[in-house]
Amino acid sequence: MSTAAAAVRRHLALAAALLTLIAAAPAVLAQTSGGAPAPDPDPEWQVRPSAEWGLNPGRLWSAYRRADQLEPLNGLLVARRGTLVAEKYWNGLTARRDVNMKSASKSVISALVGIALEEGVLEGLDQRVEEFFPEYVEESADPRKREITIRDLLTMRSGLRSTSFEGYGRWVAGDDWVEGVLEQPVVAEPGGRFIYSTGSTHLLSAILTRASGTSTLAFARRHLFGPLGIQPGGWQQDPQGYYFGGNNLSLSPREMWRFGELYLNGGRWQGQRILPESWVRESWEVYTHSRRHPTYGFGYCWWTRELAEHTVHYAWGYGGQFVFVVPELEMVVVTTSTNRPETRGGGSHLRDIYDLLRRHILPAASED
């Protein structure tokens, strides 16, 4: 065979290999932070040319190859510098199908509290909870209950016994969830140690309703969901009609990404101020630490920890629902997962998600 013919065959073989790789790789996504998503050629697997946004294509590709192996994972979105660079879905999930965010809903409640303060609906974080629920705090009650403030609820330092974990089922089976929280015994000084409790954030939702004169959902639609273009797929209510403060809010994966971008941009979306920049900063301060996970800091219903030598702030929901925000890298990463027994808090699936960020996703940007 002549040298020229051999060269042609090598070129043809290389072209065939490239076509195979392209066919297996994500399709191009025409999506920016400022516009509506374009029609997707393959809504299950999409990526933009990642190097354009300072992401190492090889590392990003390896991240998605690793994600393929995490069976409970059903959505992974990676955004940088305001652009949704890559996303993939598994097990029937799509970009616009709603996902129950579980306790990642707590970070949404926190945003609504910040807006309510800015709008004058709430006077301040040191307002006492008793002021909103005088009928639930009896004269004979432990006087420390009268000291609990909005700030204590936001930072999980109410001092009340938790209504999460082993107390959760009994609490949500009750006829009055607000009463069920406030009747819990005081087990620590208000403003003291961290006690994770969904009851605390449910009180925040009820406070928002009572203070604003409208439902938490209506308030959110006007001040947060509407400006972000979010149409929630569902949100559970308690027997009195209060929207569940801190659980069971359903958003699509892309809507979760928009929420993360709002915080990454210091409270702005598409040039519009939605949250005070100061509220974003204060929400990410570490006021206490989890007793179960001492390296995890807690702010105003946002978690903070170090991954791959970067500070990561995140909304965290049961089973692997995450909105990660990494200001230093200008990144937002969203993961969604099926809620299976093996994904519960502290399980191997959560460690796999953290490891995915630590070993693959964050280093893809760190090399920029």
DSSP 218: H
How many Cβ atoms from other residues are within 10 Å of residue 122's Cβ?
20
Tens of pLDDT, residues 62-80: 999 999 999 899 999 999 9
pLDDT band at 51 (very low <50, low <70, confident <90, very high): confident
Distance CA 190, CA 184 (A): 13
**Three-class DSSP category at 74:** strand
Cα of first residue to Cα of last residue in the chain, in angstroms, is 45
For residue 368, the model assigns a pLDDT of 59
Task: Report pTM.
Answer: 0.87
> What's residue 49's pLDDT?
66
Q: Which of 38, 53, 173, 73 is nearest to 63 (CA)?
A: 73
Of 286, 281, 245, which Cα lies nearest the Cα of 263?
A: 281
Q: What is the pLDDT of residue 41?
A: 39
The pLDDT value given to residue 52: 81
Residues 182, 184, 185, 189, CA torsion sign = negative
- Which amino acid belongs to residue 212? S
Predicted pLDDT at 47: 66
User: What mean pLDDT value characterizes the chain?
Assistant: 87
Higher pLDDT, 40 or 121: 121
* Between 291 and 100, residue with greater pLDDT: 100
For range 176-182, the mean pLDDT: 97
Retrieve residue 25's tokens. Answer: 């790789």
Burial category of 96 from C-beta neighbours within 10 Å (exposed 0-12, middle 13-18, buried 19 and up): middle
Contact 125, 211 (CB under 8 A): no
CB 104 within 8 A of CB 317: yes
Q: What is the tens place of the pLDDT at every residue in 204-261? A: 999 999 999 999 999 999 999 999 999 999 999 999 999 999 999 999 999 999 999 9
User: Could you tell me the domains of the chain?
Assistant: 28-97+252-368 (3.40.710.10), 104-249 (3.40.710.10)
